[in-house]
Structure 1
Amino acid sequence: MAETSLFQSFFLIFSGAAVLASLALYGRQPLLVAYIALGVLLGPSGLSTIDNVRLLAEMSNIGIIFLLFLLGLDMQPQALISVMRKATFVGIASCAVFLALGFTIGQLFGFSGTESWVIGMAMMFSSTIIGIKLLPTTVLHHKHLGELMVGLLLFQDFVAIVCLMILLSGNSNQLDLPQLALSFAALPLLSLFAWVTVKFLLLPLLTRFDRFHEYVFLLALGWCMGLAELAEVSGLSREIGAFIAGITLATSRISQYIALSLKPLRDFFLILFFFSLGAQFQLSMLAEIALPAVITAAAVLAFKPVVFRFLLGNQSEHKVLAWDIGFRLGQISEFSLLIAFLAANQNLIGSAASHLIQATAILTFLASSYIVVLNFPNPIAISDELRRD
């Protein structure tokens, strides 16, 4: 069979994604599940329609860079500090519990110590996409529930950044502690450089030429890519550099315009990212990881709501609100998929551990979405009583 051209690959991915995304929306499912399923269908383990998966995977990493850049842009430092004070204790305690849960599951199923720790890392996080997308907009912006949800998810994002730094410092099944120390030392220097550059160069340029929307888009893109590459050269990662680039621009009065401009570009590459994850999923591994994945997913779905209910209850939060947040955060995260992807690339985990995390993510995305849609107020509820925009 002739090699698939890049245009043909894009045609199959985005046309197929449009079809499966429509079905996912009718089924009240998160769209990223459709993208992963399409990857499995068209990739080497399925119909083998697309054969340049490695190239697409490399391109798709740009989507993660944009994701972290936009995450930084949405973090207003003052509001962030206020919200984080409320969420820090619950965030630390829950991350510790879920790290231990994932490590224990990994050990029970015979994974190595490093693989078990990575599985534990993946268990710590909840899905920002599902958590925020299934929260009514009025609750998200004006209610205590929304504040706590955002605070916990932001705290998890910070922990995820640290986990990425750890993973990107290690290879060959062991962590390079000197390199990790250098990475942490480079972080404040890079942050200081970014803050100075934004204050004395970027903000004056944006103030002077903000009428030229094309220029604003280009400057933001260049800043994101430039600091990402500088972070890579400094021994950190492009993802961390992009996050710092975003958060240093968050105080700009046109930060939200920049975010809106880049979101379509981010979504384009994120579709490629989730597609490539599915395409690299080996169906031949299902027999090996099916039982561990089902048990791990069941543990996540059972324990996360209980842990959040207990921790929030100890913070004097109302019982109903605590259960609500617990179930809304009762899955693992897109960051868990990224952790599996990076850890496998760094040779810290094997194929079985990577596929266990991916399968667990898909199962918890599906089950958690149904639980929230059927039982809590959300924008896509089947019941009129629960539907809130």
Structure 2
Amino acid sequence: MMEHSLVFSFFLIFTGAAVLATIALYTRQPLLVAYIVLGALLGPYGYSFIQDTALLSEISHIGIIFLLFLLGLDMQPSHLVHMLKKATLVAIFSAIIFMAVGYVVGISFGYTTTEAVIIGVALMFSSTIIGIKLLPTTVLHHKHTGELVVGLLLLQDVIAILVLLFLNSGDNGSSQLASFLKTAVALPVIIVGAFIFVRFILLPLIQKFDRFHEYIFLVAIGWCLGLAELAQLAGLSAEIGAFIAGVTVATSPIAQYIATSLKPLRDFFLILFFFSIGASFNLGLLGQIIIPALLLALLVLVLKPVVFRFLLQSISEDNKLAWEVGFRLGQISEFSLLIAYMATSAALIGQEASHVIQATAILTFLFSTYVVIFNYPNPIAVSDKLRRD
């Protein structure tokens, strides 16, 4: 019965996505909008055709893992280290500013101090999925703009992981300290171990059997998911593990072949991810949370480009480039959704505060996508002039 239910769910999702995507393309709308709207329509708070959104959300998480793996394949380690050094202060100062904005709005609408802090924390991050999905892999990943976007997103991911560790470690102070120490030790060990494994085991195997394309495909998936799982066991996130897996293979000639072969698989799971965002949103709470969510979304959409432009110019970046990076990072993150879910589970915030964060995420995902696809080069642009794969 479970198998039939999953197959039927997939039928509804991908057939519905194909229909809405067709309408979206005819009406010059971004495809991400179609997937989120479909989720809201078919999910438990819409027409209830699909009930088990938790399962779909878990499956769709694989799409984020593949996205980070493919991103890592495009990043040369030397460029990455240079960019992380340069972007650190920008990431830290922007996080502090947006946390303060979220906190002030939360307190103004009568949420508790803890809820206001969590809302502020949720505003600190920009979406890795939106940011990277709207970067043309053949153009910007190898240019300064792409490196800045990726560097800032990775630094934000590290901050987000620390927040998630804190939420996940309970009330025991010694337990929190142990978790942080475990993570601090695990990260460099995994990075060094991964480079050694790739150099002495993985690449020799790939070179020996490179005639068998199916084998390379299997090894790439196994390496990506294996390191993702190892990172999660060590207290990091699966995304960070997948990214490390990609970076360790990036200097190999086989990297671009792997990247090309995995893109369809990544897109399959990302459709499920955006569907699950729409499906998990409780439309019944909309009346209570729409005003604070709209205000937060407006502040994020307006202030993030301005703040990033100011901070990037302060480290001698070009004005035009600084604006573009700001607009590409002008939303909150899938990590914000995860923080909202975990904080609700830990009884730190109520359902209303959680849905304020979720609604803000959906609104900023949608509107920032519109801004980018109509103004900057990206793979899903409606205009032929801006479309870059």
> What band does the TM-score fall into relative to the shorter chain?
0.7 to 0.9
Cα distance in 1, alignment partners of residues 310 and 64 from structure 2? 33
Deviation (angstroms), 1:16: 0.6
- More displaced, 37-46 or 245-254? 245-254
- More displaced, 171-180 or 204-213? 171-180
- Listed as ranges, the matches of 1:289-304 within 5 Å are 289-304=289-304
Cα deviations by residue, 1:256-282 (Å, 9 ceiling, x for unpaired):
222222222222122222212221111
Cα distance in 1, alignment partners of residues 244 and 131 from structure 2? 24
Query: Secondary structure, in 3 states, of the residue corresponding to 1:253?
Result: coil
- Listed as ranges, the matches of 1:196-215 within 5 Å are 196-215=196-215
Partner of 1:21: 21
Cα deviations by residue, 1:268-299 (Å, 9 ceiling, x for unpaired):
12222221222111111112211110010111
Residues 78, 372 of structure 1: alpha-carbon distance in 2 compared, 3 angstrom cutoff: same
Residues 382, 260 of structure 1: alpha-carbon distance in 2 compared, 3 angstrom cutoff: closer
Structure 2: unaligned runs, 5 residues or longer: none
Query: Secondary structure, in 3 states, of the residue corresponding to 2:364?
Result: helix
Cα distance in 1, alignment partners of residues 19 and 114 from structure 2? 39
User: Partner amino acid for 1:299?
Assistant: L
Partner of 1:157: 154
Cα distance in 2, alignment partners of residues 379 and 188 from structure 1? 34
User: Contact 1:29 / 1:366 at 8 angstroms: preserved in 2?
Assistant: no
Residues 229, 147 of structure 1: alpha-carbon distance in 2 compared, 3 angstrom cutoff: same
User: Partner amino acid for 1:166?
Assistant: V
User: Contact 2:131 / 2:149 at 8 angstroms: preserved in 1?
Assistant: no
Count of residue pairs the alignment pairs up: 384
Query: Secondary structure, in 3 states, of the residue corresponding to 2:285?
Result: helix
Partner of 2:61: 61
User: Contact 1:296 / 1:360 at 8 angstroms: preserved in 2?
Assistant: yes
- Listed as ranges, the matches of 1:30-49 within 5 Å are 30-49=30-49
Residues 346, 245 of structure 1: alpha-carbon distance in 2 compared, 3 angstrom cutoff: farther
Deviation (angstroms), 1:307: 1.2
Query: Secondary structure, in 3 states, of the residue corresponding to 2:140?
Result: helix
Q: TM-score scaled to structure 1, two decimals?
A: 0.85
Cα distance in 2, alignment partners of residues 256 and 94 from structure 1? 33
Aligned-residue RMSD, C-alpha: 3.2
Residues 90, 3 of structure 1: alpha-carbon distance in 2 compared, 3 angstrom cutoff: closer
Partner of 1:108: 108
Residues 194, 341 of structure 1: alpha-carbon distance in 2 compared, 3 angstrom cutoff: farther
Deviation (angstroms), 1:233: 3.1
Residues 64, 321 of structure 1: alpha-carbon distance in 2 compared, 3 angstrom cutoff: closer
Partner of 2:282: 282
Cα deviations by residue, 1:216-265 (Å, 9 ceiling, x for unpaired):
11111112222222233333343333232222222222122222222222
Query: Secondary structure, in 3 states, of the residue corresponding to 1:331?
Result: coil
Residues 309, 242 of structure 1: alpha-carbon distance in 2 compared, 3 angstrom cutoff: closer
- More displaced, 152-161 or 295-304? 152-161
Residues 197, 75 of structure 1: alpha-carbon distance in 2 compared, 3 angstrom cutoff: same
Partner of 2:323: 323
Residues 1:166 and 2:163 are matched in the alignment: yes
Structure 1: unaligned runs, 5 residues or longer: none
User: Contact 2:128 / 2:153 at 8 angstroms: preserved in 1?
Assistant: no
Q: TM-score scaled to structure 2, two decimals?
A: 0.85
Deviation (angstroms), 1:164: 2.5
Residues 66, 327 of structure 1: alpha-carbon distance in 2 compared, 3 angstrom cutoff: closer
Deviation (angstroms), 1:167: 0.7
Partner of 1:310: 310
- More displaced, 227-236 or 373-382? 373-382
Cα distance in 1, alignment partners of residues 291 and 249 from structure 2? 46
Residues 79, 320 of structure 1: alpha-carbon distance in 2 compared, 3 angstrom cutoff: closer
Query: Secondary structure, in 3 states, of the residue corresponding to 2:330?
Result: coil
Deviation (angstroms), 1:123: 1.9
Partner of 2:176: 177
Deviation (angstroms), 1:42: 0.4
Cα deviations by residue, 1:32-78 (Å, 9 ceiling, x for unpaired):
33222111110111101112323222322222222232232222101
Cα distance in 2, alignment partners of residues 114 and 336 from structure 1? 15
Cα distance in 1, alignment partners of residues 276 and 380 from structure 2? 28
